[in-house]
Amino acid sequence: MPFTTVTLVGQTLTAALLISDAALPVPAAAPGQPAAPAGQPTGQGATPLAAAPEPAAVAAPVPPLPSPSAAVARPAGPSRGIEMLHGVDMEVTVELGRTRMTVRELLSLSPGQVLELDRAAGSPADLLVNGRLIARGEVVVVDEDFGLRVTEIVDESAER
């Protein structure tokens, strides 16, 4: 279905509306040309029907946008970036060890069964933040709860 572009606001704004040609009134035929039948498109969509009349006044003028040079540049120091992240929640996990098993072995687990992990007793546990190794430490008991005493911060460059 062909459409005609109709200007909504004057020349300072580029807002326009697409209206189906079938919904527009049929213009009077110029002398020597037949009138378009009712319901038939009056244009092919690429050319506007007629220049829309300019509005007498615009209700509220659009304020000009500030230029990029008018923006105040703030120094982005390292402390500002860190401060922005202080409230971000992260998943912290302490991992004692891992093991692999088949689905059959997993489904046959029962209470009291012992799983052998890939670490020796007394080995440091891993501290992971969002799945990434950050530190290692020893498991301790704090008021009847488990805790981790950090003994080593993992050097990111050494892990690669």
Residue among 104, 103, 99 nearest 116 (CA) = 99
The predicted pLDDT at position 86 comes to: 87
What is the share, in percent, of the chain residues with pLDDT greater than 90?
Answer: 40
Split into its structural domains, the chain has a count of 2
148 in a structural domain: yes
For 39-57, the DSSP string reads TS-SS-SSS-SSPPPPPS-
Query: Are 46 and 93 in a shared domain?
Result: no
pLDDT band at 39 (very low <50, low <70, confident <90, very high): very low
Give the gyration radius of the chain's Cα atoms. 36
66 in a structural domain: no
CATH number of the domain that residue 118 is part of: 2.30.330.10
12 in a structural domain: yes
Give the number of residues written for the chain: 160
58 in a structural domain: no
Top-ranked range on mean pLDDT: pick from 25-34, 61-70, 81-90, 111-120? 111-120
Residues 46-96 pLDDT 10s: 444 445 455 444 455 555 655 555 444 555 555 567 888 889 999 999 999
135 in a structural domain: yes
Query: Alpha-carbon torsion 54, 57, 63, 64, what sign?
Result: positive
83 in a structural domain: no
Top-ranked range on mean pLDDT: pick from 23-27, 78-82, 107-111, 155-159? 107-111
Show the beta-strand stretches assigned E in the chain. Answer: 3-7, 16-20, 92-95, 125-129, 132-142, 145-153
Task: Over range 125-146, report the average pLDDT.
Answer: 95
- Contacts of residue 58, defined as CB under 8 A and 6 or more positions apart, other chains included, come to 9, 10
- Contacts of residue 78, defined as CB under 8 A and 6 or more positions apart, other chains included, come to none
Name the pTM for this structure.
Answer: 0.46
9 in a structural domain: yes
For the chain, give the mean pLDDT.
72
Query: Are 99 and 42 in a shared domain?
Result: no
Residue 14's domain comprises 1-25+37-50
Task: Over range 130-147, report the average pLDDT.
Answer: 94
Predicted confidence (pLDDT) at residue 119 exceeds the cutoff of 70: yes
128 in a structural domain: yes
